[in-house]
């Protein structure tokens, strides 16, 4: 039966990654557990909540893992409890042994635990979706694409299709789009994902899955393989297999939402406008309505907030350039902050058509590749 000794911190790291797919409350109690298996070449941890599944594999010969093997086998243990125990062990290494009746014995120094486990045959089988021609992308590029769009997905399950990011690839350009009906973020990257120019992509990946992928694969730059079926996507890199279901349905045609012309245009230094919005939101968050107002004229651009219960705020903004018609427009400052944060330190161009139509934000350096849209708030 399963028996090994290994480095505590390395096992903890792998367990933390796998646990991202495990929920403490589920209709299938077996899925609160992590499946631990040792074969001739590696130690494998598997976690799943049906929607997503994560497998981490550690080679037995890994120096960092420092594994000593005694006997192959497998077991399922409560993931949350196991993580707490491993984190609390006193020594750098620990011994893990499965005894009769699925009883697990964990020792480290003078610490001694006995845990009740479950047979690995009770764990659901994962789909087999390895393809012969996977797409490949740099984890650094993919993380950038995720971080610049995933924040705008809907948090409301009443519109499940909007809780995901729509990704398309036409053989030359990878585009990601997200919207929650109040704002939109669209990012395109010119990239060769496949040597097969005819290989295209059109999928909707849940935002929760993408957040996990960004944190798991974004720590170091590496190539990620992407394998697809009609209902599932599998990401593989550095011994980690991340399965996610795809959202079913047609994503809205968001291209028609983006204005093609504008009547008023302002250019800001991103960090200047971001800091000003932060200052304004200190007041707006305290009031009943989280709204700030922007008054634009050739003489000055004024940012203000007014709450009968709290007080008022105004600031004349530093502007790099402004032209077009005068305009007064109100909006949610949190949407603006989220949009500006992913632009970094570049200059941002904001274009308006009217006080009641959505306005767009683009970084000056990549205005054709990256666009965000925010719907204003009607105050009258």
Domain boundaries, the chain: 3-122, 135-254, 258-374
Q: What pLDDT, on a 0 to 100 scale, did the predictor assign at position 218?
A: 76
Do 3-122 and 135-254 agree at the fold level?
Answer: yes
Domain at 3-122: CATH code: 3.10.150.10
Q: What pLDDT, on a 0 to 100 scale, did the predictor assign at position 158?
A: 85
For 135-254, CATH number out of 2.30.110.10, 3.30.420.40, 3.10.20.30, 3.10.150.10 equals: 3.10.150.10
- Find tokens 């594994």 and name the residue: 67
- Please compute, for residue 111, the number of CA atoms within 13 A of its CA located in the half-sphere on the CB side: 16
Domain 258-374 = CATH 3.70.10.10? yes
Cβ count near 309 (within 10 Å): 7
Cβ count near 272 (within 10 Å): 15
The answer to whether 228 and 131 have CB atoms below 8 angstroms apart is yes
The answer to whether 307 and 285 have CB atoms below 8 angstroms apart is no
CA-CA distances (angstroms) from residue 371 to 161, 306, 323? 21, 29, 20
Tens digits of pLDDT across the chain (380 residues): 999 999 999 999 999 999 999 998 888 999 999 999 999 999 999 999 989 999 999 999 999 999 999 999 999 999 999 999 999 999 999 999 999 999 999 999 999 999 999 999 999 998 888 877 888 999 999 999 999 999 999 998 889 999 999 999 988 899 999 999 999 999 999 988 876 666 788 999 999 999 999 999 977 789 999 999 889 999 999 999 999 999 999 999 999 999 989 999 999 999 999 999 999 988 877 766 789 999 999 999 999 987 777 788 899 999 999 999 999 999 999 999 999 999 887 899 999 999 999 999 999 987 679 999 999 998 76
| Measured distance CA(186)–CA(7) in Å, rounded | 43
| Measured distance CA(83)–CA(185) in Å, rounded | 37
Which residues are CB-neighbours of 100 under 8 A, at least 6 positions away? none
Q: Which residues pair with 52 in a beta bridge?
A: 244
Instruction: Work out whether the CA dihedral 58, 60, 61, 66 comes out positive or negative.
Output: positive
Cβ count near 155 (within 10 Å): 9
Tabulate helix, strand, coil % of the chain (nearest 5).
25, 40, 35
Tally of residues, the chain: 380
Q: Tokens at residue 146, please?
A: 């995720």
Nearest C-alpha neighbor of 219 from the set 17, 9, 60, 367: 17
The answer to whether 94 and 108 have CB atoms below 8 angstroms apart is yes
3-state secondary structure (DSSP) of residue 115: strand
DSSP output for 132-165? SS-EEEEHHHHHHHHHTTGGGS---TTSGGGGEE
For residues 178, 181, 185, 188, the Cα torsion angle rounded to the nearest 10 degrees is 50
Strand 301-307: give its sheet, edge to edge.
311-316, 301-307, 292-296, 327-331
The answer to whether 124 and 31 have CB atoms below 8 angstroms apart is yes
């Amino acid at each position: 039966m399963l028996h090994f000794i290994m480095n505590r911190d390395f096992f903890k790291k792998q367990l933390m990654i796998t646990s991202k797919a495990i929920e403490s409350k589920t209709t299938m109690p077996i899925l609160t557990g992590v499946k631990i298996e040792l074969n001739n070449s590696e130690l494998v941890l598997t976690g799943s909540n049906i929607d997503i599944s994560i497998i981490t594999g550690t080679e037995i010969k890994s120096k960092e893992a420092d594994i000593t093997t005694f006997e192959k086998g497998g077991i399922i243990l409560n993931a949350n409890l196991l993580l707490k125990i491993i984190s609390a062990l006193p020594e750098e290494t620990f011994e893990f042994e499965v005894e009769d009746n699925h009883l697990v014995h964990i020792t480290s120094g003078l610490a001694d635990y006995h845990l009740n486990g479950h047979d690995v045959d009770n764990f659901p089988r994962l789909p087999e979706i390895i393809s012969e021609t996977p797409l490949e992308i740099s984890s650094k590029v993919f993380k950038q694409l995720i971080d610049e769009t995933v924040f705008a997905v809907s948090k409301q399950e009443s519109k499940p299709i909007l809780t995901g990011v729509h990704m398309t690839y036409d053989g030359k350009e990878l585009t990601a789009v997200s919207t929650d009906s109040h704002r939109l973020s669209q990012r395109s990257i010119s990239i060769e994902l496949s040597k097969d120019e005819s290989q295209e992509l059109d999928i909707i990946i849940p935002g929760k899955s993408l957040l996990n992928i960004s944190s798991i694969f974004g720590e170091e730059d590496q190539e990620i393989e992407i394998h697809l079926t009609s209902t599932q996507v599998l990401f593989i890199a550095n011994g980690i297999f991340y399965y996610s279901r795809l959202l079913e349905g047609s994503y809205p045609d968001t291209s028609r939402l983006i204005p093609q012309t504008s009547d008023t245009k302002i250019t800001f230094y991103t960090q200047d406008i971001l800091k000003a919005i932060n200052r304004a939101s200190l007041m707006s968050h305290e009031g009943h309505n989280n709204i700030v107002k922007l008054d634009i004229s050739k003489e000055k651009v004024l940012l203000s907030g007014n709450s009968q219960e709290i007080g008022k705020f105004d600031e004349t903004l530093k502007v790099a350039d402004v032209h077009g018609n005068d305009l007064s427009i109100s909006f949610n400052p949190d949407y603006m902050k989220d949009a500006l944060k992913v632009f970094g330190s570049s200059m941002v161009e904001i274009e308006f058509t009217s006080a009641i139509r959505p306005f767009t934000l683009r970084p000056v350096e990549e205005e054709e590749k990256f666009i965000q849209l925010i719907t204003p708030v009607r105050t009258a």
